[in-house]
Structure 1
Amino acid sequence: MSPYRQLAFGVWLSAATWSATYMFWPESESRAAPTRDDIPISPSHFTPATLLSSETTGPNSKLLTLKLPTHLVPFPEDLNPVWSIYMKDSDIQVERPYTPLEGIDKQGIMKFWIKRYVDGEVGKWLHSKNVGDSIEIRGPVPTWAWREGEYDELVMISGGTGITPMYQLIHHLLINQKSTPSTSTPRITLLHSSRTPVELPPPEILQPLKSLAAAQPERFKFHLFVDSPGNLSSPASHNLQVSRIGTSAVQKALGLSQGSSWFKRKSSAEATKIDREKLGKRVLFLVSGPDRTVAAIAGPMGRNLSQGDVGGILGEMGFTSQDVWKL
């Protein structure tokens, strides 16, 4: 490994510690971070990127594509998921993290699905940008460290733009693979919920996931939920379930159904409890989305963005912090 590559990789390895420290820095400290355009992107400074495209995908969402100059691109193969990039609203000097859907390629391309919230200044600012505008970014900052061979199965539960870290990991493990996935690659089930069909992720996200589920059903399963059908006359034709993600959906994701021997041995009061050892597989739940979604599925986050206790549906089913990670 060249000295330059060692340096870049070392910056990446230290990013987790750096980002944890950063979360508690006074805001004035981040405003003082320098902007550099002569060295690769890093959590320690801002880097100008160019907005290549801005596509409206829903009433309050856009698909943005950014490009870095190639000499500022880190080594993509060194960036294991899940990681994010901070984007800065240069008008008010505030930044927020966003997850690049496919990571970053060697040409410096990154794609983001970003929602505009009424009280979200950075999201509104990003939605106002035009193609060709410069956007300052900082990162990559690790969100969760994927480790090969640690789990037999991943059950991902997301709401809204919370699908973006899930997509990044799925893209890394399955979509972007040039050959058959390793036997140590876990089976993945993704349960995603949006309020209405018009708020579902755009085709750029949904179609690769649907194609993957059809091509590799033994490796990947994908289920969509909406709270309301909206103006859609036939949700079934779009493979949508008009309901919230609940206990039964989680049970099915684990391969447990009401007709299985598992439930025949259980009383109705105990039916939602899961004996992890009897599952016969190492399962991890990844949960991401709006605060209300995360709280309903896995309990709220703790203070200072810590994981907090496991509650919600997964807590009622008997899962603990060993089995659940909130992104």
Structure 2
Amino acid sequence: MLRDATVFEDEHLPREIVGRNSQMNEVTDALAPVEDGVRAENCFLFGPSGAGKTTVARAAVRELRREVLDVPTAYVNCWKDYTRSSVLERAANTLADAAVPKNAPARELIDTLQDGLDSPGVVILDEVDQLQDADVLYDLHSVPGLAWICIANREVDLLARLDERVHSRISVGYRVQFDRYTVDTVTEILDRRTAQGLEPGAVERGTLERIAELVDGDARQAITALRVAARKSEREGLSTIPPRLVDDAVLDAEAEVRRKTISKLNDHQRVLYECVEEHGPLIQKALYDRYQRAHPDPITLRALRKNHLPKLEHYNLIETERGGEGKTYRLASRTG
């Protein structure tokens, strides 16, 4: 049944981007100056998980490279590279094609970028609100010709972390908002993935619509659910995906996406999540008390509220409820 499983992987970049024409236009407009040998405009992409932010950013850079074949580009996932030095090191390695020594000072990495970037370039900073030190954006901004596409859930969670000097310098740029996909758009995305990745006739459109209805506008979960349903059908020796498998496939896909997200949490987020998982529901003070006991190097409650708890909420790992004792944190409820 599965003809090309890579079509259902997170890294797959479709030939056409469904339901995001206005966002694509904004990002390509921001990058257009590169075609004239000029630095692109910085671009911020904000919206919920699974709304197509990373796909649009990568597709816009792909379009740019069709016009300017040798434009230097880089992709940094700030879940993995979240320190100032690791971001600068990856940018220097990719954009300047430079072999930089491990643990090189930030100034040396910035100089390497400045010396090695001889034409306008673009770096995608995915999950940029995961940065340990968001002031690294100022470092990148200081490199002549280099522009970025920053991807985050909410503007306030990113820009509120910057000091005033840095904020005034780098906050100017395109701001592109992404809402959750509609059911019709998710269905169309699934239909196109089906055409590329499954055998003809493997799934009816009504089944795709059912998946789309269950995922609350999250295309990543929907695509995962379609792959899971196809695998389940194959194991049963079926040549088509029956509707009876859809609900379980969506639940399994949600669990898979959740596991991937948990595996990427930084140490503060992981401890917070485990405290809620083991002891929740917890009011904020009780959560912080348990976090302090569990983490070897705890940070302040204010820093957790500002930088870490919102991320757990945005990725549907925890949810909050406000009551007489303030906020209460519990594990997010599953689909269905």
Same fold (TM over 0.5): no
TM-score range, shorter-chain basis?
under 0.3
TM-score by length of structure 2 reads: 0.24
TM-score by length of structure 1 reads: 0.24
Higher relative contact order (CA 8 A, sep 6+): 2
| Structure number with higher helix proportion | 2
